[in-house]
Chains A and B, each alone.
Chain A
Amino acid sequence: KAGVTQTPRYLIKTRGQQVTLSCSPISGHRSVSWYQQTPGQGLQFLFEYFSETQRNKGNFPGRFSGRQFSNSRSEMNVSTLELGDSALYLCASSRDGTDTQYFGPGTRLTVL
């Protein structure tokens, strides 16, 4: 069974631009969560989607948004990028959100 895939793996943007990251969960998994990982803040929860609905949201500004499609694939979007948005963005999937989450390799975003 294929694991969680994330595209692109690396991304370089400049301040003020916007970016869209993609996540394909493990087949059969309906819950997708997004996390931001930075050296200073560690792993922080962004949001979780289940069956195309956002079920939970972390404490991030409205510039961070996401969505989930009917095939459970998810995208997250960051608008008006800031230098502090440079991070590794991780996506995780699970069957229904109550069980084990499996993580993708992440997208490394660098904002210049």
Chain B
Amino acid sequence: AQSVAQPEDQVNVAEGNPLTVKCTYSVSGNPYLFWYVQYPNRGLQFLLKYITGDNLVKGSYGFEAEFNKSQTSFHLKKPSALVSDSALYFCAVRANTGGFKTIFGAGTRLFVKA
């Protein structure tokens, strides 16, 4: 069965410092991997995705993620955090298991302190 793990409930980082939000996955076959961000009382906003190709994927708002097949990881990164990056981040995997289905991680709350 496919699954996604976000091992940290919360990540705290100072503004201007680099940030990493971790994600590992388990799926049969080739996964489609996504990161979404959710602001309070809003739906999810797409940040970036990995389907195939270059392992380093660049997305919206300066975020990037690195796909590591051997470690089955897809960590979200940003070189310099902003206070406005504070939000809830979800990693998701989508795979064809007799029909496409997206499984989301539990989410990681990011706090960026000024």
Binding site for B on A (CB under 8 A): 4, 31, 33, 35, 42-43, 45, 48, 55-56, 58, 90, 92, 97-106
Please give the number of chain B residues whose Cβ is less than 8 angstroms from any Cβ of chain A in the complex. 21
Q: Is the interface of A mostly helix, strand, loop or mixed?
A: strand
Given the known inter-chain contacts A90-B44, A100-B49, please indicate yes or no for A33 contacting B102, CB distance below 8 A.
Answer: yes
Given contacts A100-B34, A102-B46, A43 and B104 within 8 Å (CB-CB): yes
With A103-B44, A104-B43, A105-B42 known to touch, is A45 a contact of B32 (CB < 8 Å)? no
Say whether A100 contacts B46, CB under 8 Å.
yes
Residues of A near B101 (CB, < 8 A) are 45, 48, 56, 58
Q: Which residues does chain A contribute within 8 Å of B94, judged by CB atoms? A: 98, 101
Asked if A97 contacts B36 (CB within 8 A), the reply is no
Which residues of B sit under 8 angstroms from A106, Cβ to Cβ? 42-43
**C-beta contact mask, B91-114 vs A, less than 8 Å → 1, else 0?**
000100011111111110000000
Contacts of A43 in B (CB 8 A): 90, 104, 107
Q: How far is the CB of A4 from chain B (nearest CB, A)?
A: 8
Residue in B32, B45, B105, B107 whose beta carbon sits within 8 Å of that of A98 in the complex: B32
Cβ-defined contact, A101 with B104, below 8 A: no
Contact at B102–A45, with CB atoms within 8 Å? yes
- Residue numbers in B under 8 Å from A31 (CB-CB): 100
